[in-house]
Amino acid sequence: MSFINYSSREINCKIVYYGPGLCGKTTNLQYIYRRTNPEQKGKLISLATESERTLFFDFLPLALGDIKGFRVRFHLYTVPGQVFYAASRKLILKGVDGVVFVADSQLERMESNMESLEDLKINLAEQGYELEKLPYTIQYNKRDLPNIVPVEEMDKLLNIRRVTWFEGVAVTGKGVFETLKAVARQVLFELKKHY
């Protein structure tokens, strides 16, 4: 649910990075944070455990520029990927405008990817959304690691909706901004449909 403020001339949109534990959601946000000009970003907030696992969410506000005189602000969130944080994941999807699914390319993580995708669908449905109708993109992350599954195979397994996808190496930034841009584009075009 975006927030359009005609008074301060701002559009605010919420984008959530979803995916199994350790797939690189937080790493995506950290890279975006590092590579954005100071005047375009707020603080990167991480509610994480001592071992740097996301406990509740990461949050990064971005104001990349203006469209038609309106300042466009994206609020990027990640969910905690670990299975037992299910209740928290649900909360973060509230009011979401667009979703990025970050999949882990390692062979041994395929099952976790599928579980997480199923979890995403269920949690969206509980908030009254359908994954099929939401601005949505997929990132096949960790392409630099050995023992990875070919992208075509992952696509068959995870990309039922045939959305745009990107290969990613979030630690080096490969595919990170491409993914964000793809989902941002869909979110803004969705606004066009409604307003």
Partner 1 sequence: MSDSNLVMYEEEFRKIDAELQKLHQQSNAKVVFLVDKNGQLIASAGETHDIDTTSLASLTAGNIAATGGIARLLGEKEFTILFHEGEKDNIHISLIGQRIILVVIFDSRSSLGLVRLRVKKTSDAIGKIFNEITQKVEKDKGEGKLEESIFAEISDEDIDNLFR
Binding interface with partner 1 (CB under 8 A)? 1-8, 12, 14, 42-43, 45, 47, 56-57, 59, 61, 64-65, 67-70, 72, 75, 87-88, 90-92, 94-95, 97, 128-129, 133-135, 177, 180-181, 184-185, 188-192, 194-195
Residue type, 25: K
Please state the closest distance from residue 8 (CB atom) to partner 1, in A: 7
Please state the closest distance from residue 93 (CB atom) to partner 1, in A: 10
140: exposed, middle or buried (Cβ count in 10 Å: 0-12, 13-18, 19+): buried
Please state the closest distance from residue 84 (CB atom) to partner 1, in A: 14
Residues 6+ apart with CB under 8 A from 23: 81, 102, 103, 104, 109, 112, 113, 116, 141, 142
Please state the closest distance from residue 136 (CB atom) to partner 1, in A: 11
Torsion of CA 103, 104, 106, 107, to 10 degrees: -40
- Which is closer to partner 1, CB of 102 or CB of 188? 188
